[in-house]
């Protein structure tokens, strides 16, 4: 038997931390060595989480500074931004898979603009790989830090990068309309996220100022070779999990929706997790619930010269913890799909 | 005491028919004279509808051809398209408020294209008024037939007509992304609308071919003075009621989002049901649930030269039965808000 | 035109306070004079509540001690227990309709046992009427204080009192299994009430120690003429509103389920809000959503000598604010149904 | 590598069939050889099920009579009752795991009473094992037919059998109040299961006549050594999955709730899937969602001499397909937990 990877999860009392632990529990090579949550230190995971009621042997939650990182192979950062970089910058030795926003933006000034605080560890930014796995397979195996993309950027970039790279669409006037389940707001206790406020209702939020915007613009600009400005409007939908983006793009000259389909087909044909649906089939979040899968499709728009690209993910899995495991697998030379094989849960 | 208006509701076993009856029950001038539902004729409303359990004295459901229209003042058509026009074309005497699609499109050929059948009563089209109430106050008082707009067109047109009329936006490239509760699909029994198929999930539908498109294009073209083609993508959201449209528009030269706000302010200042929200407040379906209210707002888009207009309604009230009552009020010289004063239900 | 009743609502930032305002808005005799919410004083109702977005002319929220109670006819107490009695005990002049728990229990010691604090105003207990309206019509017209029952007691007592009074069931071994929507937990911000914690899930709570127990036991004991101990297990259900109690009772000697039906029929035949359903029809919360109606029914149990009584209400209306208005109507000699005529909202 | 078990799933277009396929996909020893669904024969699983969009290589659906059962090791019957036994009785060779009701009742006459049809294959009843796994480990390894219990009986019997066996409770007056997600109603297309009928609502159903009653009574009677009659009232809750039973029992002389706890502790201490929660912790469906786990707990009732036993399962997993796999594992000498290790999905 091979030696397990010993992992520490910082911030195991949040939804992303918990979903990481859920996946880690059945990953054949992971040993869960430490789980931190400063505000809930001393409690068991079963006390903090209903779904770990049957897992009394999970490590107790501890304070982050109580962890002995000697012998830890990889640290998963599931903390809020700023707190994450501050803590992770003090850790030497283990590889780092960060699920916060702290290592996503290459430019510390842009980070400060959008997040409202100076970057706690700008010196680490150069060594962080933007971990949109399907577009980072060259760099992840040797990376020390993987910065997992935000959930919206994961969905949107998987739908847009192949098109921008091939020049099939104009990088201008990209309009992303997105829908997310409530778990995307985290487990922080706010009136706005109470059940009666959210159930039986829908509304947009973060209009024109959502923090996932600069991340999408950074990656699109990088591929387009010039500055890209996008329109992005997320909406809160009364469901636990799931994210769907409906993207309107301007086609490059003479291009058609069929060309976009062909590009996706070529780019994603062999992918284990990214699936171009048959022509005419609309992506739906229920296609991917609880899994690391991504489904997408292309439709002609009724306005000439445009097309619709629609993509669905589970915001907590491919949009967060699943992709984190996928990145870890590559960083340690494991099969990319290891521990992520479970089929979606429906209904 | 004044003489009541005696109403007949054709199709009282569907959600729109039922919501009309709900509103009619407390309308001070309405007497519910007849309720038809061919497939459920002979049953009480309490047998067909849970929420009428406490209303045993409602008329029993009958077949439409059993109704004596003598003495009926107004007929509400809550039937599926084609069936509606076919039946209504045989009725003389009462005024007609039709909630089906049959009298919305002025052009019978367009109707045939989108609905797949020849129009059953093209001779009546000229006398039908498109009943988007706030834009039909001149014509409704003398109309014999009011064609109530679809739910999506109600929301979208209230958001777009004032802008197109004033030339503040380009009629091209209007992109409507819309979200609807499941009641919009009607009470017809389809696997796709079962609870487990819809709950905890979201997906787009009718992409590029939804039947509310020609209706929106007709009204926009009429105001713009030239043909308008729109992009419209509706999504199904796991909630009973509510509809929200997030619309991206291209501003006319030198115009800003503030100009759009000013136009809405001017146009809707005195409206009892249409409300421009304070700057920065995002419309939400929970603001209008169960009521005839409409809330809307304008936001600058991050892409230069564009703006977002966002609007929310209850699809069954302002998007259907409430607007039908509002139209009836005008057709009979009653105060426009009569019977529609109830505040939204939240949570 | 008659003089309006000027009301003050203390605690208008909670769900019960807001639902009271919703109903008051269309009550033909109510003028909303003052709305308090200490923590949100200075804000408009539209800032605090989505569904009042269209009601900018509502009074602003103020601190309770800023209200001039001169000229106020009735004060609605929608505050948490203890805070309510403390504040209300200082108010002279207006009549009081209290929706908190403070005036429900006749015995200050029992109150202290269950609520963990000494009663703030035991001197007022004798003048408070337990406002289960259908059983308090003799005393409400002259009462200065109406103590509105808890939501669970409202449902359970309407189902049990007629049976206990007539000696049709044993007062022992009453087993109440109840289900409630999440609004019953109030708008207080707790992790347990976040959407993702509650959606797609169900669980019991307050097992064996819910504070509505002593209230039910007090009223049942009073009717039974001896001490009654009940079993009561509430469950949290992922819905906004609605409450359903499934009650198992031991029949008195030779009695049958049919006898219980007959008793309900006799007791509730003329009631405007309490409805015995046709034989075999199961009560459902969707029958009463948003309304002041109550539906109930009786079924034979498979275990010999027992019966099931099932009852459904809207926890915020008949279970709280609607019953408060109903009580106010009686206290001021108005028709009991005034302002409460709206039919349930479905779907 | 070991030879896989080749399985056929009859009725793969229903929720239980689909959940079996979901689990089978990651079971290390299963090869999915054939999937039948007569009404949808010829379609791919991806056409019939959203969550198999990413699994194009699953066998196409075929008609049951097109399957060559040679070389099939085990047939899973996921068909409606009667249809299941009729078809399965014609199959020789493979072992059978039936998820329908057909082989649960030992007595064909009782079956006919409750199901309204003569049993299609009474000759097979003697060789069927009632597959409540934790109570059938002796007989499953040699059984040819495993009859998987209904979802409610699974929950209720796990909570009751250890107590009845030990004489800790009276077998009389057992009162089971149960809550179930909508998937329990199957994917059959009925108005009652449409999203708007079920969402935001709760109601009891099958009062006094639910078909899971005789099954519970059979097993309880068998353990009690005399006829047991139970009270059972299921309710429909607006969630996809999950089942919770709140059971009130009469304690045997001098017994206490603590004795029940001790009995569960003794009986289930080593169980991989059945978990007695810490004292005072209420079982919740979110503790087991998507998993084969069972959580239960005991509470003293306020009525003297009684106790509450509360138990939660996922109705489609432990209540159906998961237990079917668990049974299959035992029938083929595999580790009982194989393929069932995934942790619950929350939120």
Report CB contact under 8 Å: B285, A347.
Answer: no
User: Is the minimum CB–CB distance between B55 and chain C shorter than 8 Å?
Assistant: yes
- Check B62, B78, B148, B151 and give the catalytic one: B151
Residue C109 has which token pair?
Answer: 């010691």
A70 and A159 part of one domain: no
The mean per-residue pLDDT over the stretch C298-314 comes to 97
User: Is the minimum CB–CB distance between D273 and chain C shorter than 8 Å?
Assistant: no
User: Is the minimum CB–CB distance between A221 and chain B shorter than 8 Å?
Assistant: no
- Check D62, D78, D148, D151 and give the catalytic one: D151
Chains with 3 or more CB pairs closer than 8 angstroms to C?
A, B, D
Report CB contact under 8 Å: D240, B189.
Answer: no
Counted across chains A and D, CB pairs separated by less than 8 A come out at: 106
Place of tokens 């269209």: C54
**Residue B98 counted as domain residue:** yes
State the pLDDT at residue A60.
98
CA neighbours closer than 13 Å in the CB half-sphere of residue A256 = 2
DSSP assignment of A14-74 equals: SHHHHHHHHHHHT-TTEEEEEEE-GGGTT--HHHH-GGGTT-TTSPPEE-GGG---TT--E
**Residue B345 counted as domain residue:** no
Report CB contact under 8 Å: D51, A288.
Answer: yes
| CB < 8 Å from C in window 73-92 of B | none
Report CB contact under 8 Å: A191, C189.
Answer: yes
Nearest Cβ partner for B347 among A196, A208, A248: A196
Query: Coil, strand or helix: which one is B28?
Result: coil
Q: What is the pLDDT of residues D150-206, one digit of tens each?
A: 999 999 999 999 999 999 999 999 999 999 999 999 999 999 999 999 999 999 999
Does the pLDDT of residue B1 top 80, yes or no?
Answer: no
User: Can you tell me the distance from the alpha carbon of C339 to that of C27, in angstroms, rounded to the nearest whole number?
Assistant: 4
C15 CB neighbours in chain A (<8 A) are 196
A178 and A281 part of one domain: yes
Q: What is the pLDDT of residues B199-249, one digit of tens each?
A: 999 999 999 999 999 999 999 999 999 999 999 999 999 999 999 999 999
pLDDT band at D244; cut points 50, 70, 90: very high
Nearest Cβ partner for B290 among C18, C273, C345: C345
C300 and C160 part of one domain: yes
Q: Which of D155, D199, D207 to mutate to test the interface with C (most CBs of C within 10 A)?
A: D207
Number of domains in chain B: 2
- Closest CA relative to residue D304, chosen from D232, D253, D228, D230: D253
Let me know: does C249 contact C169? Beta carbons within 8 Å: yes
| Helix (H), strand (E), coil (C) string for B6-19 | EEEEECCCCHHHHH
CA neighbours closer than 13 Å in the CB half-sphere of residue B55 = 25
C-alpha torsion sign, points D262, D266, D270, D271: negative
**Residue A15 counted as domain residue:** yes
pLDDT band at D1; cut points 50, 70, 90: low
Report CB contact under 8 Å: A203, B285.
Answer: yes
State the pLDDT at residue B2.
80
User: Is the minimum CB–CB distance between D18 and chain A shorter than 8 Å?
Assistant: yes
Please state, rounded to an integer, the average pLDDT across all residues of chain B.
97
C322 and C309 part of one domain: no
**Residue C340 counted as domain residue:** no
Let me know: does B34 contact B12? Beta carbons within 8 Å: no
User: Can you tell me the distance from the alpha carbon of A78 to that of A60, in angstroms, rounded to the nearest whole number?
Assistant: 16
From residue C150, alpha-carbon distances to A111, B235, C216 in Å are 51, 40, 9
- Closest CA relative to residue D274, chosen from D149, D141, D127, D135: D135
A108 and A197 part of one domain: no
State the pLDDT at residue A2.
80
Q: What is the pLDDT of residues C48-102, one digit of tens each?
A: 999 999 999 999 999 999 999 999 999 999 999 999 999 999 999 999 999 999 9
Let me know: does D314 contact D291? Beta carbons within 8 Å: yes
Q: What is the pLDDT of residues C6-32, one digit of tens each?
A: 999 999 999 999 999 999 999 999 999
The mean per-residue pLDDT over the stretch C103-128 comes to 97
State the pLDDT at residue C1.
55
**Residue C232 counted as domain residue:** yes
Report CB contact under 8 Å: B197, A286.
Answer: yes
Q: What is the pLDDT of residues B274-325, one digit of tens each?
A: 999 999 999 999 999 999 999 999 999 999 999 999 999 999 999 999 999 9
A241 CB neighbours in chain D (<8 A) are 347
Its domain, for residue B95, covers: 5-149+318-331
The mean per-residue pLDDT over the stretch C262-283 comes to 98
C157 and C304 part of one domain: yes
Report the catalytic residues of C.
151
Q: What is the pLDDT of residues B119-147, one digit of tens each?
A: 999 999 999 999 999 999 999 999 999 99
Q: What's the burial of D138, exposed, middle or buried (CB within 10 Å: 0-12/13-18/19+)? A: exposed
D199 CB neighbours in chain A (<8 A) are 200
B140 and B271 part of one domain: no
| CB < 8 Å from C in window 177-196 of B | 182-183
**Residue D242 counted as domain residue:** yes
B225 and B163 part of one domain: yes
The mean per-residue pLDDT over the stretch B140-158 comes to 98
User: Is the minimum CB–CB distance between B230 and chain A shorter than 8 Å?
Assistant: yes
C195 CB neighbours in chain A (<8 A) are 182, 193-195, 197-199, 238, 240
**Residue B336 counted as domain residue:** no
Q: Which of C23, C28, C188, C342 to mutate to test the interface with B (most CBs of B within 10 A)?
A: C342
D173 CB neighbours in chain C (<8 A) are 303, 306
C196 CB neighbours in chain D (<8 A) are 346-347
User: Can you tell me the distance from the alpha carbon of B177 to that of A246, in angstroms, rounded to the nearest whole number?
Assistant: 8
| CB < 8 Å from D in window 240-269 of B | 240
C237 and C271 part of one domain: yes
The mean per-residue pLDDT over the stretch D25-47 comes to 98
From residue C145, alpha-carbon distances to C31, C142, C188 in Å are 20, 9, 26
Q: What is the pLDDT of residues D57-75, one digit of tens each?
A: 999 999 999 999 999 999 9
A238 CB neighbours in chain C (<8 A) are 195, 199
Place of tokens 């039709």: B98
Listed as ranges, residues in chain A with pLDDT below 50 are none
Contact residues for B130 (Cβ-Cβ < 8 A; gap 6+): B104, B106, B136, B147, B149, B219
D311 to chain C: closest CA residue = C203
Q: What is the pLDDT of residues A192-240, one digit of tens each?
A: 999 999 999 999 999 999 999 999 999 999 999 999 999 999 999 999 9
- Closest CA relative to residue D14, chosen from D113, D83, D70, D103: D83
D241 CB neighbours in chain C (<8 A) are 200
CATH classification of the domain holding A32: 3.40.50.720
User: Is the minimum CB–CB distance between C198 and chain A shorter than 8 Å?
Assistant: yes
State the pLDDT at residue D213.
97
Query: Catalytic: A62?
Result: no
Nearest Cβ partner for D15 among A277, A343, A347: A347
C200 CB neighbours in chain B (<8 A) are 199-200
User: Is the minimum CB–CB distance between A49 and chain C shorter than 8 Å?
Assistant: no
A187 and A311 part of one domain: yes
State the pLDDT at residue D239.
98
A323 and A243 part of one domain: no
**Residue A341 counted as domain residue:** no
C15 to chain A: closest CA residue = A196
C47 and C170 part of one domain: no
| CB < 8 Å from D in window 137-176 of C | 172-175
Let me know: does C91 contact C9? Beta carbons within 8 Å: no
Smallest CA–CA distance, residue D148 to chain B, in Å, is 23
For C257, the enclosing helix (H) or strand (E) is: helix C257-268
């Amino acid at each position: 038997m091979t030696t397990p990877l010993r992992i520490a999860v910082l911030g195991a009392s949040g939804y992303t931390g918990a979903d990481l632990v859920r996946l880690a529990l059945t990953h054949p090579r992971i040993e869960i060595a430490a789980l931190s949550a400063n505000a809930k230190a001393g409690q068991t995971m079963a006390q903090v989480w209903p779904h770990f009621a049957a897992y009394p042997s999970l490590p107790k939650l501890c304070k982050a500074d109580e962890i002995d990182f000697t012998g830890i192979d990889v640290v998963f950062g599931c903390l809020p931004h700023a707190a994450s970089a501050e803590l992770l910058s003090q850790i030497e030795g283990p590889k780092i898979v960060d699920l916060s926003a702290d290592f996503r933006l290459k430019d510390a000034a842009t980070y400060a603009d959008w997040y409202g605080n100076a970057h706690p560890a700008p010196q680490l930014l150069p060594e962080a790989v933007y971990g949109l796995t399907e577009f980072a397979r060259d760099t992840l195996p040797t990376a020390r830090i993987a910065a997992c993309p935000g959930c919206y950027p994961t969905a949107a970039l998987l739908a847009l990068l192949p098109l921008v790279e091939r020049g099939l669409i104009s990088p201008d006037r990209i309009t992303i309309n997105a829908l997310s389940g409530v778990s995307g707001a985290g487990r922080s206790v706010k009136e706005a996220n109470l059940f009666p406020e959210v159930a039986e209702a829908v509304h947009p939020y973060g209009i024109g100022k959502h923090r996932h915007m600069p991340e999408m613009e950074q990656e699109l600009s990088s591929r387009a070779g010039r500055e890209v400005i996008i329109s992005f409007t997320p909406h809160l939908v009364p469901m636990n999990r799931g994210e769907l983006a409906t993207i309107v793009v301007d086609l490059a000259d003479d291009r058609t929706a069929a060309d976009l389909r062909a590009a996706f087909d070529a780019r994603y044909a062999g992918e284990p997790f990214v699936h171009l649906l048959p022509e005419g089939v609309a992506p739906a979040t229920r296609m991917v619930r609880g899994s690391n899968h991504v489904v997408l499709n292309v439709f002609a728009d009724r306005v000439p010269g445009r097309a619709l690209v629609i993509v669905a993910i589970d915001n907590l899995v491919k949009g967060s913890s699943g992709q984190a495991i996928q990145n870890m697998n590559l960083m340690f030379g494991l099969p990319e799909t290891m521990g992520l094989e479970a089929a979606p849960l429906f209904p």
